Amino acid sequence: MNYRHAFHAGSFADVFKHAVLCRILTYLCGKPAAYRVIDTHAGAGLYDLAGPEANRSGEWHHGIERLLAARLEPAIAALLVPYLDVIAALNAPGRLTTYPGSPALARAWLRPQDRLILCETEPKAAKALEANLRGDVRIKSLRIDGWTALAAYVPPVERRGLVLVDPPFEEDGDFTRLANGLAAAHRKWATGIYALWYPIKARREPDALAKSLQRLGIGKILRAELTVARLDDVSRLNGSGLILVNPPWPLEGELKTLLPALAALLGRDGQGGFCLDWLAGERV
């Protein structure tokens, strides 16, 4: 489907994915021990919402712009504070011109002892990533294939942290690569937190992914999905999902609060929906 980050910056899928990412980072910062984030398909890190890519798609108008304009219930607003505070820090008051990708969000949460590994091979995005995050000794940007990096950089020396896998899904086999990549990485680092993003146009590929993951024998796999439209038009991105391995213990409860609110707010013509279930462990 070619989910290049620059064209979809600030979309409903980004809002969902990045809100969850910041909840995980909040948890990691709750303990003094150092952690590492490994972002396998990092993109450019920061995005100009008036730039040619984001402006052409305009998806941010139906994602982050809609969220910022909404009057949120206090419980929802509290869960989104770690995410929205980073966005606010990058923009002038009352304006929205810059959107942070996962590298910029992760950087905002790094403490002196923490580290961030960013992997990107697309030349334009890799060059922008290096420019956007240069000068921070806690961060290393690498021009390496993300699928290779998924297993190559685990386990980290810190033994705590998160692996974020957010590929562009340019090839038909990427759902299979997602499951195989997780299996290989988990064999090397079974205690790490993994967050794997995937697009939803119809049910066939996400459901096949779920079945593949259930066969891996991994102890804890939480699936969270947000849909914004009915799955009857496979030419459009109708939703997105996150596979969360070893999720922080509060995250399930937080998602029970957050997902219905995001579905109601970001759904097209009232067609928003969500799924939250355990593929392995906890409440199968």
Q: What is the CATH number of the domain that holds 262?
A: 3.40.50.150
pLDDT at 52: 76
What total number of domains does the chain contain? 1
pTM to 2 decimal places:
0.95
Residue 24 is predicted with a pLDDT of 98
pLDDT in tens, the chain (284 residues): 445 677 789 999 999 999 999 999 999 999 999 999 999 999 999 999 988 777 777 899 999 999 999 999 999 999 999 999 999 999 999 999 999 999 999 999 999 999 999 999 999 999 999 999 999 999 999 999 999 999 999 999 999 999 999 998 888 889 999 999 999 999 999 999 999 999 999 999 999 999 999 999 999 999 999 999 999 888 889 999 999 999 999 999 999 999 999 999 999 988 999 999 999 997 64
Answer for the pair 228, 272: CB distance below 8 angstroms, yes or no.
yes
Query: Residue 283: is it exposed, middle or buried by C-beta count within 10 angstroms (0-12/13-18/19+)?
Result: exposed
Residue 255: per-residue pLDDT: 98
Cis status, amide bond into 156, omega within 30 of 0: no
The domain in which residue 175 lies consists of 5-280
Q: How far is CA 24 from CA 12, 58, 103, 127, 181, in A?
A: 19, 28, 14, 28, 21
Among residues 231, 210, 212, which one has the least CA distance to residue 222? 210
Residue 3: predicted pLDDT: 55
Give dist(CA 79, CA 27) in Å, integer: 12
In angstroms, the CA 67 to CA 281 distance is: 33
Could you identify the residue written with the tokens 């939803």?
200
Q: Give the pLDDT score at 284.
A: 45
Instruction: Cite the active site residues.
Output: 166
| Residue 95 CB neighbour total at 10 angstroms | 8
CA pair distance 178, 116, nearest whole angstrom: 21
Cα 258 off chain centre by: 15
How many Cα atoms within 13 Å fall on the side-chain side of residue 155? Answer: 12
CA distance 129 to 239: 27
